[in-house]
Amino acid sequence: MRDPARIERMVELLRRYWVANPDLRLAQIVVNLVRSGVPAPHIFYAEDDRLEAALRAEVAKLPPDEPDEPVVR
């Protein structure tokens, strides 16, 4: 199993980077960081509202939050 502690670290790093670069979309940040050398325009140009909707749909499929877990809003 992957280390669950990485999630908070990654989210905090992403938050700091994104706040410093607010004109970037989430998908742009991910594609730029991966730097695979393979164009991925379908990902790079994905708007944040589309990703947010997809993420909300996936979160809705999860079991209810445990009391000590953060709530996604």
Q: What is the pLDDT of residues 27-71, one digit of tens each?
A: 999 999 998 788 899 999 999 999 999 999 999 999 987 665 665
Residue 53, pLDDT score: 96
Q: Could you tell me if residue 35 is left (phi over 0), alpha (psi between -120 and 50 degrees) or otherwise beta?
A: left
* Residue 45 near residue 27, CB atoms below 8 Å: yes
Give 33-45 pLDDT, tens digit per residue: 998 788 899 999 9
Residue 71, pLDDT score: 57
Q: Could you tell me if residue 65 is left (phi over 0), alpha (psi between -120 and 50 degrees) or otherwise beta?
A: beta
CA distance linking residue 39 with residue 2, whole number of Å: 28
